[in-house]
Amino acid sequence: MSTTKFAVVPTQGMYGSGDNVRVARILSSLQAARESAKRMTVSYQSYMSKHGGSSGGYRVIAWDQDGRTISGYSLDRTPDAG
């Protein structure tokens, strides 16, 4: 039986379309993944405020792959998890 996992990934602007992007976290709960993405975004933006700021952060996508990387090109076209 396949269980849907959810990956916390960087938002556009934190990587280039030609880059391989590393998944920050993989979780089995959509709610937990959303909470993690929110905390990571707050932390990242707080850190970046010392360097001029950033609108970047983290979002959640459905994850059914082995491994922890995805191409930026694919990630650009992957919708947020429902």
Residue 19 lies in a domain: yes
> Which residues, in sequence order, are CB contacts of 44 under 8 Å at separation 6+?
54, 56, 57, 58
Q: In this model, does residue 2 exceed pLDDT 80? A: no
Global pTM value: 0.90
pLDDT for 3: 74
Any domain includes 16: yes
- Residues with Cβ within 8 Å of 47's Cβ and at least 6 positions away in sequence, in order, are none
2-6, 45-49, 62-66: least confident range:
2-6
Q: Which helix (H) or strand (E) holds 46?
A: helix 30-49
What is the number of domains present in the chain?
1
In a domain, 52, yes or no: yes
Residue 44 lies in a domain: yes
Is residue 82 in some structural domain?
no
- Predicted pLDDT of residue 55: 86
**pLDDT at residue 32 above 50?**
yes
Q: Is residue 62 part of a domain?
A: yes
Residue 56: inside a domain: yes
- Phi-psi domain of 13 (left: phi exceeds 0; alpha: psi -120 through 50; beta: other): left
- The parent domain of residue 34 ranges over 5-76
Ramachandran assignment for 6, one of left (phi > 0), alpha (psi -120 to 50 degrees), beta (any other): beta
pLDDT at 4: 86
